[in-house]
């Protein structure tokens, strides 16, 4: 990456340029500091303390190198839909029952493997850089960065709350009130690595919700949710906390004959593009299993 120092940037340090102007994450800056040829001004290797002058040419060695590439991500042809893609980002509609990234027992059936296959087909290097993650059983939108700079910028916008996510879920019972905000801290449960719980010792967690439909028997609700923070299992924990666990959620509720996973789908995301800041909005249609449940519980004309 190359860019020219502008007249209004005369006299600032390289660190200020990287953090305040280019919006790079601390992690990205640290990587550039310690890699050979990572930071150059007018062709000379420099430190982040270098004072810049109008017309200086700044070079950042942000290209992926062999040590950056995830050799363990095996390319696999898997069913995913690309919702939006350009040189900087890729937005996918992750199907249910697909983990986001490889882990023990899931080395070749993840979203990362699917994207690695698409990259290999084009003959381009692949580094998996998910900006958000979804549980394996949660379907919907996953935003990934195609390069180090975009990843750092999107990470900062995530931290600042500029990435807006909307989910739709089928829950057991009817929330009371039907719309509101669950403001309850979440911590790791004492009795398991995976499970989370509401706890006064936990981290701040807030979720907005709005009930949009109730089944004829009053046993189920269709709810739109907007997490204002990003804790593990946040929506699942918060809905169970108010007495309305997700349909099919074996961990925080109980299994269901209507669906073989928890009924949660990331349906919409709005975020600033990492290159020019323009707002991008993507939507992912309901998957067949949740649509079938909705047809039975909320949309049936009988």
pLDDT recorded at residue 192? 62
pLDDT band at 27; cut points 50, 70, 90 = confident
pLDDT of residue 72: 66
State the chain's mean pLDDT as an integer: 90
In the predicted model, is pLDDT for residue 112 greater than 90?
A: yes
The residue-averaged pLDDT of 189-200 equals 83
- DSSP character at residue 29: H
Q: Which domains does the chain have, with CATH numbers?
A: 2-62 (3.10.290), 67-160 (3.30.2350.10), 164-270+278-297 (3.30.2350.10)
Answer whether 220's CB lies under 8 Å from 297's CB. Answer: yes
Which of the four pLDDT bands, split at 50, 70 and 90, describes residue 140? very high
* Other beta carbons less than 10 A from residue 82's beta carbon: 12
Catalytic-residue membership of 135: yes
pLDDT tier, 108 (very low <50, low <70, confident <90, very high otherwise) = confident
pLDDT of 300 higher than 80 = no
Strand-pairing partners, residue 220, are: 172
- pLDDT surpassing 60 at residue 177: yes
Given a cut of 70, whether residue 236 has pLDDT beyond it is yes
If pLDDT is split at 50, 70 and 90, which confidence band does 24 have? confident
Does this model's pTM top 0.75? My answer is: yes
Query: Residue written as tokens 């379907």?
Result: 139
The residue among 156, 133, 157, 152 whose CA lies nearest residue 143 is 133
Which whole number is the average pLDDT over 253-259?
95
Q: Which residues contact 160 (CB under 8 A, 6 or more apart)?
A: none
Q: In this predicted structure, what is the pLDDT of residue 71?
A: 56
> CA 38, CA 62: separation in Å to the nearest integer?
7
Q: Which is the catalytic residue, given 10, 108, 135, 147? A: 135
Closest by CA to 248, choosing from 110, 96, 133, is: 96
Residue 82 has a pLDDT of 95
24-28, 55-59, 224-228, range with greatest mean pLDDT: 224-228
* Percent of the chain residues past pLDDT 90, beyond the cut: 68
Q: Provide mean pLDDT across the span 254-277.
A: 95
Task: Look at residue 233 in the predicted model and tell me its pLDDT.
Answer: 95
Residue 64 is predicted with a pLDDT of 63
Cβ(63)–Cβ(264) below 8 Å: no
């Amino acid at each position: 990456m190359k860019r020219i120092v502008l007249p209004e940037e005369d006299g600032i340090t390289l660190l200020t340029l990287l953090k305040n102007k280019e919006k790079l994450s601390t992690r990205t800056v640290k990587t550039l500091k310690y890699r050979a040829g990572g930071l150059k001004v007018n062709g000379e290797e420099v430190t982040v303390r270098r004072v810049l002058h109008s017309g200086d040419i700044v070079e950042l060695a942000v290209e992926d190198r062999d040590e950056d590439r995830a050799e363990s991500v095996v390319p696999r042809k898997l069913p995913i839909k690309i919702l939006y893609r350009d040189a900087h980002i890729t937005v996918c509609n992750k199907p249910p029952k697909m983990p986001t990234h490889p882990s023990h027992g899931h080395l070749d059936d993840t979203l990362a493997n699917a994207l690695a296959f698409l990259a290999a087909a084009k003959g381009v290097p692949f580094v998996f850089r998910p900006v958000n993650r979804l549980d394996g059983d949660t379907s919907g939108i996953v935003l990934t960065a195609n390069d180090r700079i975009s990843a750092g910028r999107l990470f900062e916008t995530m931290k600042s709350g500029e990435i807006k996510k909307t989910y739709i879920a089928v829950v057991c019972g009817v929330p009371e009130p039907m719309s509101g905000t669950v403001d309850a801290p979440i911590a790791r449960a004492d009795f398991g690595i995976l499970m989370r719980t509401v706890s006064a010792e936990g981290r701040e967690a807030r979720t907005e919700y709005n009930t949009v439909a109730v089944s004829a028997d009053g046993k189920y609700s269709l709810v739109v949710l907007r997490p204002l923070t990003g804790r593990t299992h946040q929506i699942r924990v918060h809905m169970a906390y108010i007495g309305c666990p997700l349909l099919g959620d074996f961990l925080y509720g109980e299994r269901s004959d209507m669906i073989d996973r928890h009924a949660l789908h990331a349906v919409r995301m709005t975020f600033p593009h990492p290159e020019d800041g323009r707002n991008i909005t993507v939507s992912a249609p309901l998957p067949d299993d949740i649509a079938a449940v909705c047809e039975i519980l909320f949309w049936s004309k009988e």
